[in-house]
Amino acid sequence: MRIAIAGSGKVGRALAKDLLTNGHQVLMIDSDPECLDRKDLAGAETLLGDVCEISVLEQADLPSVNILVATTGDDKVNLVVSLLAKTEFGVDRIVARVNHPKNEWLFDETWGVDVAVSTPQILVSLVEEAVSIGDLVKLFTFKKSGIDLVEVTLDIDSPVIGQRVGSVSWPVDTAPVAILRDGSVLVPTKDDTMEVGDELLFVSKQEQETALMELLCAPGKRRPHNFVA
């Protein structure tokens, strides 16, 4: 997969390093030559220029890019490059970093953004996930579809302990996508049995999350934690 990253600061470089390790083609775009000329970007393509300039984005050959990630420290820049990439070059998937939470409302399909990532809210979600056993925790919302990624860690009182995944009537528009157990990631099959301490990940429509809680959480622990990235 070819991925363009607008901004080669700490966030952009860390993302590029992981993507390169996973075998993706990475293009870094930045106006600062010192940021691009770094050893930790070895293996990535680099393009020197202003990410908000059409001529620079044309040089980047964005129509050949599967995903563009706007990671600069300036929300205005991230919005502009997202809009240009989506409307002028037809990039399929745009992920944009939100630096200031007050600007989060801008980061939607109007500006070409498919997924907005707000670091403070991610941290809050992860803290909630770490301390909440038996509660449904909302980790992430896909802005375009309004679908949530939610997590619950099964405690001993959960009604589904000992049941097979395929035997549970999950709410409509809800699907289990992973079971985290003993440091491993399991793709759920209908014959997998749910155990105490399992971390279950679901994609779910927001209006179905109350029904999901009623299936998974013991009475008295059925409260959602609505912290969304």
**For residue 195, how many other CB atoms are within 10 A of its CB?**
14
Q: Confirm whether 224 is domain-assigned.
A: no
pLDDT of residue 36: 83
Asked whether residue 109 falls in the same domain as residue 29, the answer is yes
The verdict on residue 225 lying in a domain is: no
Question: So what's the pLDDT on residue 222?
Answer: 45
Residue 28 lies in a domain: yes
Question: Which of the residues in the chain have pLDDT under 50?
Answer: 123-133, 222-229
| Contacts of 228 by beta carbon, 8 Å cutoff, 6+ apart | 121, 125, 138, 139, 140, 141, 148
The token pair that represents 177 in the structure block? 């996508």
**106 shares a domain with 82:** yes
Rounded CA separation 183/198 (Å): 10
pLDDT tens per residue across span 54-96 = 999 999 999 999 999 999 999 999 999 999 999 999 999 999 9
Q: What does the pLDDT read at residue 67?
A: 93
Do 96 and 165 lie in a common domain?
no
Query: 32 lies in which domain range?
Result: 2-113
What are φ and ψ of residue 103, in 5° steps? -95, 0
Question: For residue 130, what is the domain's CATH number?
Answer: 3.30.70.1450
Among 49, 79, 113, residue at a domain's last position: 113
Domain membership flag for residue 229: no
pTM of structure: 0.59
Domain count for the chain, please give it: 2
85 with 131, same domain: the answer is: no
Concatenated DSSP letters for the chain? -EEEEE--SHHHHHHHHHHHHTT-EEEEEES-HHHHS-GGGTTSEEEES-TT-HHHHHHTTGGG-SEEEE--S-HHHHHHHHHHHHHTT--SEEEEEESSGGGGGG-SGGGT-SEEEEHHHHHHHHHHHHH-SSSEEEEEEETTTTEEEEEEE--TT-TTTT-BGGGS-PPTTEEEEEEEETTEEE---TTPBP-TTPEEEEEEEGGGHHHHHHHHS-TT----B----
